[in-house]
Chains A and B, each alone.
Chain A
């Protein structure tokens, strides 16, 4: 059974930093691109970032580019999102998910809540 478990969320002050982790199991992690998607309270889905299988190619939403960094450790089946210079508008539940452009291997974690507030 595929499982994705996010951790690392919490309350942080504006301007602060946080690192999210996503532990993957039940599939061959190194063979799949991974994405982060967030959802602000009572709002829609917003794609944040993507990292391809090898970890050398990354993509970011304009809203986080230059502040967030996605990375992965294929030896440990872990995905990360390093978040710096956090703003109130970054407050959201952050989900990690598998990603395939043309195929339906699509699995999501339940998410971890990040709250940016003083």
Chain B
């Protein structure tokens, strides 16, 4: 099973600041990596697929990069609605796995 390690666990930032979230895979997943956003009481929402492609309707301030075992989600300038928990998911190998999540909170 591929283990995804996300860091940091919590990111405390102010609106307008840049957020950089990391996801490290225990094995090569090529670019089979997705990022999700989840807000309290809501289902997860797909932000990024294939490591760097934005899903439909996702604002340009969200960007993904990386391949192999190291991946990054960047939010260029945080909006109030971006404070949430973010998960990476690898889709390259069964079983599918999620990272433990990064909570982006208001500083």
Tell me which of B49, B87, B95, B100 contacts A62 (CB under 8 A): B95
Closest to A65 in B: B95
Interface set, chain B 63-102, CB cutoff 8 A to A = 87, 89, 91, 94-101
What is the bound-complex CA distance between A104 and B55, given in angstroms? 6
Grouping DSSP codes into helix (H, G, I), strand (E, B) and loop, the B interface class, with mixed when no group exceeds half, is: loop
Tell me which residues across on chain A come within 8 A of B60, comparing CB atoms. none
A-B contact count (CB 8 A): 56
Q: Are B50 and A102 touching (Cβ within 8 A)?
A: yes
Tell me which of A45, A61, A101, A104 contacts B46 (CB under 8 A): A104
Smallest CB separation, B34 vs chain A (Å): 8
Smallest CB separation, A23 vs chain B (Å): 15
Tell me which of A44, A47, A109 contacts B101 (CB under 8 A): A44
Q: Are A45 and B32 touching (Cβ within 8 A)?
A: no
What is the bound-complex CA distance between A46 and B89, given in angstroms? 10
Tell me which residues across on chain A come within 8 A of B99, comparing CB atoms. 44
Smallest CB separation, A39 vs chain B (Å): 9
